[in-house]
Chain A
């Protein structure tokens, strides 16, 4: 009797695993296609759905992940929709926007289970990690395959996205942090609405006047997480740095950086900056007419326009040293587990994006500085006050920790917590030493 039960159990397990294995051996990307073919049908008829998705009218459906959770995501969505309607190959891009953290959390699991999207947008900080782990494939053949003019790209934008000499991603946008200011709040505080602060000292003076705690109006914002790394630029503009030039050791624990941290701490403790606010919190303050000065990225532009905020954009303020801004390049990466058909569709969309027309639309509507020479030369782009302000990037931009594979982790796991801790009132020097040690530890790995 007992033996029979065990045999029964075993055979049942076998059946379960056989059903399972059947699925495993199905071609890569089956799931995505099955799910995407039509949004209404269920994934139960996977195989048929796959075939129809691959063959019907020659088009391919691919998944496209990115973190454009800001107001610029709406513009991106429109561009993707236009591509889906107009592309001659019948391709469909299914875009999924999720917070950076979620993307970082989900992508490796998706790669491991071979259900990853074909197309992903990541930044130049991620090239080392994504190249090393084999999440992205090298796309050196992109220009040849699609006939896209390589010489139209600025060299810096291409180089930032290379890994071990190979093109890992194709540029999608270039940006830095800029100083946004709310003209109405400046005026209400008796300041000249057309003169943004040019130095960090002026930021304090203006912030003090703008702040009105009874109305929850803050002078300036220093988010403690989920924001661009404005602090790297602050360190630099005050003569400090995060890692040594050769990228092997921490340069964080310096007098200059201590002053920068104390500066932030004083602004927070004086109530001129919201305490412990995240990037999204601070963005919302800016969008709600509650924040005077904010160093953030161009993705704010679309939202500020939509919420009818009377704002201006300028270069980052200068400190004891020259003004600085971290240049970040976002690029399209193609995942290593996608099929040839998916890769072709991904290439087609990347090529579509990098036409003068589409890049120009992106620049004009969101204020992103152009990286295609043909867009930069466009008269309409040059005439746009926001884009031209943002294009000053070429004068003060620098690349953060070039070639350091832990660059992203340094910002996310060390520097943001550092800002959070000192904003909460912890001792700046203690935190600085601690953070510096953590950076050394990351660099030694």
Chain B
């Protein structure tokens, strides 16, 4: 009985490694292919039969993407939009999450329901009025116009609320006895204690906004205000540019910053996804 189990376990192990290595190839190959083809000449990219490793490498695709579209501006915009949104949203979400988790006040349940309600409504449903509203407020094609509507998320509030709830009780009572004011308690005592939560949430906001397509696509009509994802999507599409090289070079540049961050902050990247499934 036990021996049979051992045997089947070895069989499982073999199957597991074979399948996993096949999956490695399926997942990694397109990404490596992107890296290689960004440096290939146009002729080799579209040449038949297709080759995996080319013979000639060039930076022409990169030069082209910067000259064909205002790609430098896209990079700048994405950094400002995703970075700005992340900083502001983390602060706003933490403050609201803290209030819901640790403070007693009138109307708490009603306000919490209000936040819950906004979580239920998908962005697509309100995108047209949002566009009109931003236009009316003169926020279209401005950084505040891109950042403000994303400056808080119901999800972030929930997440920070659960992080603050998990802190030991009576922390703030002790601080109050020490004479610290309410703002001070939040900034000096509570906020530093949820640093893992803050990091996780920051990565979450950074990743979502960096990669977001529909939102910046809609909220920017001026080409100079576009983000990387929106700019690239408009650069390709079905009725596309003839050259493939610049599309690939652009794609490579657009994914690199997050991949580099991933190397250093892998834990938080995975947590930003995983916590969403656990904490509820």
Contacts and interface: CB of A to CB of B under 8 A. Distances in A.
Contacts, number: 132
Interface centre among A1, A25, A109 (most CB of B within 10 A): A109
Interface centre among B47, B141, B144 (most CB of A within 10 A): B141
Nearest to B218: A109
Interface stretch (B31-39, B65-73, B269-277): B65-73
A97 interface: yes
A43 B142 contact: yes
B240 A22 contact: no
Interface stretch (A32-40, A164-172, A241-249, A360-368): A32-40
Given A1-B106, A23-B142, A17 B137 contact: yes
B247 to A, nearest CB: 10
B155 to A, nearest CB: 22
A154 interface: no
A376 to B, nearest CB: 28
B222 interface: yes
A44 B70 CA distance: 19
| Chain A interface residue number, banded | 35 or more
B137 A225 contact: no
B143 A71 contact: no
Contacts of B67: 77
B256 interface: no
Interface residues of B, number: 44
A42 B143 contact: yes
Interface string B101-114: 00000110000000
B206 to A, nearest CB: 19
A163 B235 CA distance: 31
Interface in A275-334: 278-280, 283-284, 287-288, 290, 303, 307
Contact of B222 (A19, A32, A287): A32
Interface in B239-273: 239-244
A215 interface: yes
Nearest to A288: B46
A287 B46 contact: yes
Contacts of B150: none
B223 interface: yes
Contacts of B144: 19
Nearest to A1: B106
B136 interface: yes
A114 to B, nearest CB: 9
Contacts of B240: 69, 99, 226, 278, 280
A319 B215 CA distance: 49
Contact of A20 (B42, B72, B137, B243): B137
A290 B48 contact: yes
Given A16-B137, A43-B225, A115-B221, A288 B239 contact: no
Interface centre among B49, B68, B106 (most CB of A within 10 A): B68
Contacts of A35: 73, 222, 224-225
Given A20-B137, A23-B139, A215-B48, A71 B242 contact: yes
Interface in A233-247: none
Contact of B237 (A19, A73, A97, A102): A102
A113 B48 contact: no
B170 interface: no
A41 B234 CA distance: 24
A30 to B, nearest CB: 9
Interface in B149-184: none
Interface in B71-121: 72-73, 76, 80, 106-107
B238 interface: yes
A99 B239 contact: yes
B42 A307 contact: yes
B70 A39 contact: yes
A290 B48 CA distance: 8
A308 to B, nearest CB: 8
Contacts of A31: 141-142, 222, 225
A279 B239 CA distance: 7
Nearest to B133: A20
Nearest to B224: A35
B188 interface: no
A35 B244 CA distance: 28
Contact of B107 (A2, A44, A115): A2
Contacts of A71: 242-243
B210 to A, nearest CB: 18
Contacts of A1: 106
A99 B140 contact: no
Interface centre among B46, B80, B236 (most CB of A within 10 A): B46
Nearest to A412: B239
Contacts of B244: 284
A70 interface: yes
A1 B222 CA distance: 44
A97 B69 contact: yes
Nearest to A72: B242
Interface in A177-196: none
Interface string A69-92: 111010001000000000000000
A112 interface: yes
Given A102-B234, A280-B242, A96 B69 contact: yes
A113 B135 contact: yes
Given A1-B106, A110-B221, 16 more contacts: A21-B137, A23-B142, A25-B138, A31-B222, A32-B224, A73-B68, A77-B68, A98-B69, A101-B237, A101-B238, A106-B223, A115-B141, A115-B221, A215-B49, A279-B239, A280-B240
Interface of A: 1-2, 16-17, 19-26, 31-32, 35-36, 39-40, 42-44, 63, 65, 69-71, 73, 77, 94, 96-102, 106, 109-110, 112-113, 115-116, 215-216, 225-226, 278-280, 283-284, 287-288, 290, 303, 307
30 contacts: A1-B106, A20-B136, A20-B137, A20-B138, A21-B137, A23-B137, A23-B138, A23-B139, A25-B138, A31-B222, A35-B222, A35-B225, A69-B240, A77-B68, A94-B224, A96-B69, A96-B223, A98-B234, A99-B235, A101-B238, A102-B237, A113-B141, A115-B222, A215-B49, A225-B239, A226-B239, A279-B239, A280-B242, A287-B46, A288-B47
